[in-house]
Structure 1
């Protein structure tokens, strides 16, 4: 009689982080045991049991779901409240009240008066008014928590349309001299400029008038919650693969070259040696090579970035002692690790395919820059989707690689 197999059931019924973390560990233990069974069957029978393969796939899905649940619970607990306990700025309080009046009823007189006092333009090309700093700050905090690359990168707030950064291609000229020896003239450093324009990102949440009339509904919180997913989804795609046309330029959109011939302006990559796959023998060796392709100064804060399908393949890798290279989070809020480095799951990374760069490793805080132009603008539209009220919400954001030595890729090619 064939043994019936099941993926491990979730044990967490409530919102307890400790129980959710136990779920992840329990799922990984089941995954490890089932994969070891699969490997043993392949050695003894010359092939795997389809039932074991099916069980492993179900456990892998359960492990992913446990990880997502733990991440959601950690995110919800870490979100700050919109309240403010310190001394209140009268202008800020007035702006918040005027903004609430505009959102709920469309009364814009208060916002026009305030923006006139501040000598700012009341509306842009598409109209709208600036949201209070509390709403803007809450949106940016939420994006930092759920947008994977934003959470890793350096983020700069700017007031103009473009952020420009000078850098030296050759590095500073220096040398050793004796105490009384003449100091020879050093070569002039070769400077270049990186430019990061802020592009417009928009979302259009809809509300019923009944919701807007409900005084107990926190309008600031509602707007932040409605736009966070839309903004995070668009940012996540752009920071990874954006072409730089009307959107940020993703780190995978830059030219790639073999690491042995790396030069500034390119992303260095290592190849697996097999088109569309890892090597059949010792597949994890290339991951070690990738780690050490990065200079020591960058490795200290480096992370692996990949999507869940690539992560599912790597979960099966072991070292020479039989220990799995991928390990579940050590505590609530901590990431899973691979070779001791954090693993960041970015669904916009490409799946493993021929000539794809499906895995990146690097210090993204030094390697990638996100620029946010100050100000979130909201236009109330009660006409286009009656009886619903639309809120055309825009922010300006840009991004690109600022240090090409800080990020390396793994290319699945011969």
Structure 2
């Protein structure tokens, strides 16, 4: 923790130095030495950010101890035994069906018995929120998309409409108003049944009271689901997958010949202005981390860097004055790659089905012979860019 905090403080100090250099130079032409100094700051910032990211991923895999006591200790042993939802989940994860009749009844009362094909429990709201938090922590699409929750998973046709070219008119006194009908379209917003796939864990680990079994298992299962969902919400081809934001967005700018692995300042400006200014009020850039390493070194016509590092923890860096979102499911720069997206990503809607987060414990021989316990998670979600005018992409040149 202290090491991570120290790295964050160093990032903040370097960002302050970089921004001071930007402020001091203003619109003056930059010298090679000043550009090299700024690039040195930004390179070290990016290296430190990658170290922080790696350290946080390792820390996320460690179990916390907030659930030690409740994990394997029944709350009461009277005829009307009641336990809270988190205790019920922990008992189920630790011991499966190997509990007393009173405990089994209490678990069933605390957890929903809505089951997927192989059986299992729908987790209570506290655990479901842990899953959603985990889904947000990976990828990036859930950070910027509009999230809606529906009571069921029936297929949806979401109404769409583009009003960016609509205008009013002047009419004479007592004159009638002309027609200005709105044209509506539709975008599919169907959901898909996501699974973490089964994982096998040592029985001793699951029954160890020093391990927060809920935190440990939920993080593993939810992280897997989060990664595949972010991939599909970014690049999904539709029909059997969600419609990803990149395939649905229009092309705002194609790089000139020779820009297979790069993008120019002029290309970024053209991409920005390919999006109607009505959508630019909440616009962001979205890139792969490797592409950010390329773009962050681009200078404007005076030599001034167009990438500005953030000086506030949790705030994004900016490019041409717009926030930059890292999404490693966006293609890296290559021939014909759609490597940069820009626009209002809140026009991408992610649809989650309420009470669809499920967990199943497996004790069959495939696991028992190895003294293991199996777990699998499910969650139903879908997504689509319902306004294709809100986001445009940059395509690297073919040659």
- How far did 1:167 drift? 2.4
User: How big is each residue's C-alpha offset from its partner over 1:182-224, in whole Å with a ceiling of 9 and x where there is no partner?
Assistant: 344x354333322211112211343322222223433332233
Matching residue within 388, 392, 395 for 1:408: 392
User: Which stretch of structure 1 is more off in the superposition, 161-170 or 128-137?
Assistant: 161-170
Give per-residue Cα distances to partners, 1:78-110, cap 9 Å, x unaligned: xxx999xxxxxxx99644333222211113843
State the match for 2:349 in structure 1: 369
1:207-265 deviations in whole A, cap 9, x for unaligned?
322222223433332233212431222122111111224432212223xxxxxxxxxxx
User: Does 1:277 pair with 2:260?
Assistant: yes
| 1:252 corresponds to 2:243 | no
1:166 counterpart residue number? 159
1:286 has 2:267 as partner? yes
Whether contact under 8 Å (2:159, 2:184) holds in the other structure is yes
Of the three residues 62, 65, 82, the one matched with 2:47 is 65
Q: Distance in 2 between matches of 1:62 and 1:173?
A: 49
Aligned pairs (5 A) from 1:11-410: 13-16=3-6, 18-22=8-12, 25=15, 36=32, 63-70=45-52, 94-107=84-97, 109-110=104-105, 113-114=108-109, 122-161=114-153, 162-168=155-161, 175-184=169-178, 186=179, 188-203=181-196, 204-254=198-248, 267-277=250-260, 283-365=264-346, 367-374=347-354, 375-383=356-364, 384-385=366-367, 386-410=370-394
Distance (Å, rounded) in 2 between the aligned partners of 1:396 and 1:271: 36
- What are the ranges of 5 or more consecutive residues in structure 2 without an aligned counterpart? 23-30, 68-80
Q: Is the 8 A contact 2:339 2:395 kept in 1?
A: yes
- The structural deviation recorded for 1:389 is 0.9
The equivalent of 2:25 in structure 1 is: none
1:111, distance to aligned residue in structure 2 (A): 7.2
Cα distance change of structure 1 residues 194 and 92 upon mapping to structure 2, 3 Å threshold: farther
Question: How big is the alpha-carbon RMSD for the aligned residues of Structure 1 and Structure 2?
Answer: 3.8
Moved more, 149-158 or 245-254: 245-254
CA distance in 1, matches of 2:235, 2:66: 33
8 Å contact kept, 1:164–1:195: yes
Unaligned runs of 5+ residues in structure 1 are 1-11, 41-55, 84-90, 255-265
Q: 1:37 to 1:20 in 2, by over 3 A?
A: closer
> RCO higher in 1 or 2 (8 Å CA, sep ≥ 6)?
2
Q: By how many angstroms is 1:140 displaced?
A: 0.6
**Is contact 2:272–2:342 with CA below 8 Å preserved after alignment?**
yes
Cα deviation digits, residues 84-141 of structure 1 (max 9, x gap) = xxxxxxx9964433322221111384378438xx9x7632222211011111101112
Q: Provide runs of 4+ in structure 1 moved above 6 Å.
A: 26-29, 58-61, 72-77, 170-173
How far apart are 1:169 and its partner, in Å? 5.5
If the length of structure 1 is used for normalisation, what is the TM-score? 0.74
The CA deviation at 1:61 is: 6.9
Give the distance between the partners of 2:106 and 2:311, measured in 1 at CA: 48
The Cα shift of 1:404 comes to: 0.7
